[in-house]
Amino acid sequence: MSLSLWSVQPPRPSPQTSSRQSMFTMDLRSSIWKPPSAPAWPAIRPIITAGYGKLCPGDEHDQPTFAGHVWLLLDRKGQPLGVYEASAKPATVEITANPSHAQRSHAEAAGKQPGDAITVKSPYHGSRSPDGRWSAFIKDHNVWVKDAAGGEKSVLSNDGTEEDGYGDRFAWSPDSQKLVVDTPIDDRNPALGQARDGTLVVGFCRTANYDDQGRYDPKLNKLEDTRFTLSRDGGKTWSESAEIRVAEFGWGSPFGKIVTLPDGAMLMPIYGGQRRSPGEKPSRELDHSYLYRSTDNGQTWAYFAEIGDGKPQLNETALPRLSSGKFLAAMRSGAGDLWLSESDDGARTWSRPKLVTN
């Protein structure tokens, strides 16, 4: 899911930011259910036990997810409370653990069985801001707001196009100061860093390879590219995004932290397909971990090095630089293992990766 965030008081043009998260919120309602013969809350032990988080009555947990991923919610004894299939839109899952309170309030509550105590609600507040002052709408693929009192209209975005225009799904912050608007293009996996001159740099990837049911399918051959954007005012405004050329790999996804070296050069981890000759079809069988380098405070980026020998499937790279000047690269494999590689020559060449955990 792609998100854009604007301040709307006072209204002013602002480019799309790079906040790109899809998530759902699990909300355990203590007012509806408490385990029998348990001590009074907050002494109650966590009753939701799962690999991604635990909840006590009254708690909330934000969980990033991909559309189509299925989540099993368990009680503290490991018994199923319900099943939730994530959609392309953020949602809130209320867990009551009381079948009489279960209800299907949102179409994305897929996979429920009789007795499942799950309610899924959309967090969108509609076009009107909570304080009633603003009304948001879409015009010419961009986001506008209208002052309810005087009727004055102001445009908030200027980067919407026919191919990647903003949709009419709005979410306001409780204080009506921020507005989040979704776009159909999925832009994700931000890599963030700060240049020596203070410029903030965010790299990210975009893809439109989703079918009508929201399932990812790279064979659709829709828009897919790698981009970056800059902010010179501490993140308040961002430049129009520019492309990072990854044509020789077929695709590329930034990830993690961009490292700035003492000489001002910047290194951005990007994983992608295997390097290929011109005209050769891109391969998605193996992920490869690459580094891209900028020597002009993030304004342009070019291929710099590959980490590893290309044999393990490596992605999602963390790039710590030690006080000695040596670099480490901690990489996730396609199987979820952790691999480690080292460089003693400024990240130009790397040792053969070693398996750390599996």
For residue range 294-304, what is the model confidence (pLDDT) as tens digits? 999 999 999 99
| Final residue before a domain boundary, out of 183, 216, 246 | 183
Query: Is residue 131 located within the same domain as residue 143?
Result: yes
Average pLDDT in the 218-236 region? Answer: 89
Q: Which helix (H) or strand (E) holds 338?
A: strand 338-343
Query: Is residue 281 located within the same domain as residue 267?
Result: yes
Query: Is residue 163 located within the same domain as residue 127?
Result: yes
Q: Which residue would you say has higher pLDDT here, 298 or 69?
A: 298
Query: Is residue 128 located within the same domain as residue 245?
Result: no
Q: Which residue would you say has higher pLDDT here, 120 or 219?
A: 219
In the chain, % of residues over pLDDT 90? 34
**Candidate from 51-65, 241-255, 311-325 with smallest mean pLDDT:** 51-65
Query: Is residue 176 located within the same domain as residue 191?
Result: no
Q: Is the pLDDT of residue 77 over 90?
A: no
CB 191 within 8 A of CB 205: no
Number of domains in the chain: 2
Average pLDDT in the 50-54 region? Answer: 58
pTM: 0.61
Write down the residue that tokens 């348990």 correspond to: 38
Q: Which residue would you say has higher pLDDT here, 278 or 131?
A: 131
Q: Is the pLDDT of residue 244 over 70?
A: yes
| Final residue before a domain boundary, out of 183, 203, 238 | 183
Q: Is the pLDDT of residue 215 over 70?
A: yes
- The radius of gyration of the chain's CA atoms, rounded to the nearest angstrom, is 23
Closest CA to 123 of 31, 21, 216: 21
Query: Is residue 305 located within the same domain as residue 175?
Result: no
Query: Is residue 123 located within the same domain as residue 158?
Result: yes
Query: Is residue 211 located within the same domain as residue 305?
Result: yes
**Candidate from 11-15, 118-122, 150-154, 282-286 with smallest mean pLDDT:** 11-15
Sheet hosting strand 354-357, strand order edge to edge: 314-318, 327-333, 338-343, 354-357
Q: Which residue would you say has higher pLDDT here, 93 or 209?
A: 209
Write down the residue that tokens 């899924």 correspond to: 120
Residue pLDDT, tens place only, 165-180: 887 778 888 888 888 8
Average pLDDT, the chain: 75
CA distance linking residue 273 with residue 67, whole number of Å = 23
Q: Is the pLDDT of residue 132 over 70?
A: yes
Range of the domain at 349: 186-357
Q: Is the pLDDT of residue 76 over 60?
A: yes
* CATH number, domain with residue 209: 2.120.10.10
Q: Is the pLDDT of residue 42 over 50?
A: no
Query: Is residue 221 located within the same domain as residue 77?
Result: no
